[in-house]
């Protein structure tokens, strides 16, 4: 039921999304939110997702202001979910049982988190801290950098099928192409429309596996079977498709394929 507020003042909605594969964990966070002593900046509206794929879909449709995100989930982990979202105006409180690398990444980047099991007092401290942030983007970027510095690059890519979100492993992607402000993952079975720019993918993907060969194209290096030098300079893929390589990227490509 909508609260009328004092003297008829309308309260704004503050949307909170809980993403965790364990039902008891989601219920615990909901209970703590109902009992918290921390003042929220609006009327609390709750939603939840029991896996990462549903989480990606809910972020798009629910537009949360705050997310409680479990790190260890089957299918799509919390960090993998984070990597699927390029525009992140929301705030995040991470939760994890015990994953040493995640904890180190959080500590390195002053990112608050909940180590399971946690109590109401610890929950309130994390909630209070995250609400004080104007933006977490620098922190989230630092967490991702910590993962990438240890070779933990993006390995799956999500795409929408109607209202559902599915994912494909990057090993199935021949190349990514940008066309008319949209990005497509090209596979042997066709193309998938994805919600990430090539510039963002260039940050998230392993540079030893994917390389920008043109302003509009990023190719999986393992898929290249031959070169055709001249103008235009072309690469041939294992599906016999040919792609142009811009002048600025030719040396970088050849150095990757034929390292000294």
Express each pLDDT in 117-164 by its tens digit.
999 999 999 999 999 988 899 999 999 888 888 888 999 999 999 888
pLDDT mean over 194-210: 95
Position 1 pLDDT exceeds 50 = no
Q: Which residues have CB under 8 Å from 214's CB, separation 6+?
A: 243, 244, 245, 246, 249
Query: What backbone torsions phi and psi does residue 102 show, to the nearest 5 degrees?
Result: -60, -45
Q: Which residues contact 41 (CB under 8 A, 6 or more apart)?
A: 12, 14, 131
What structural domains and CATH numbers belong to the chain?
A: 6-149 (3.40.50.2300), 156-257 (2.40.50.1020)
Tell which wins on pLDDT, 19 or 102: 19
pLDDT of residue 10: 66
User: In the chain, what percentage of residues exceed pLDDT 70?
Assistant: 95
Contact 76, 156 (CB under 8 A): yes
Q: What is the mean pLDDT of the chain?
A: 91
Identify the H or E element spanning 103: helix 100-108
Supply the DSSP symbol for 94.
Answer: E
Q: Is residue 191 scored above 90 in pLDDT? A: yes
**pLDDT attached to residue 162:** 87
């Amino acid at each position: 039921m909508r609260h009328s507020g004092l003297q008829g003042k309308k309260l704004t909605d503050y949307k909170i999304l809980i993403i965790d594969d364990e039902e008891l964990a989601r219920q615990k966070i909901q209970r703590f939110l109902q009992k918290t002593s921390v003042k929220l900046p609006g009327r609390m509206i709750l939603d939840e997702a029991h896996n990462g794929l549903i989480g990606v879909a809910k972020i798009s449709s629910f537009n949360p202001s705050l997310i409680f995100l479990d790190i260890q989930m089957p299918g799509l982990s919390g960090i993998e979910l984070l990597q699927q979202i390029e525009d992140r105006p929301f705030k995040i409180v991470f939760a994890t049982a015990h994953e040493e690398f995640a904890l180190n990444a959080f500590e390195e980047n002053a990112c608050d988190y909940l180590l399971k099991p946690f109590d109401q007092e610890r929950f309130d401290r994390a909630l209070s801290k995250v609400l004080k942030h104007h933006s977490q983007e620098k922190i989230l970027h630092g967490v991702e950098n910590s993962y990438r510095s240890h070779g933990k690059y993006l390995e799956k890519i999500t795409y929408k099928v109607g209202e559902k979100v599915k994912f494909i492993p990057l090993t199935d992607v021949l190349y990514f192409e940008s066309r008319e402000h949209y990005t497509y993952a090209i596979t042997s079975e066709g193309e998938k429309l994805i919600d990430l720019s090539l510039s963002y993918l260039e940050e998230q993907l392993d540079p030893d596996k994917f390389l920008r060969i043109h302003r509009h194209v990023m190719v999986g290096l393992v898929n290249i079977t031959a070169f055709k030098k001249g103008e235009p300079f072309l690469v041939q893929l294992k599906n016999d498709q040919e792609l142009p390589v811009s002048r600025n990227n030719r040396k970088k490509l050849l150095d990757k394929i034929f390292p000294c």
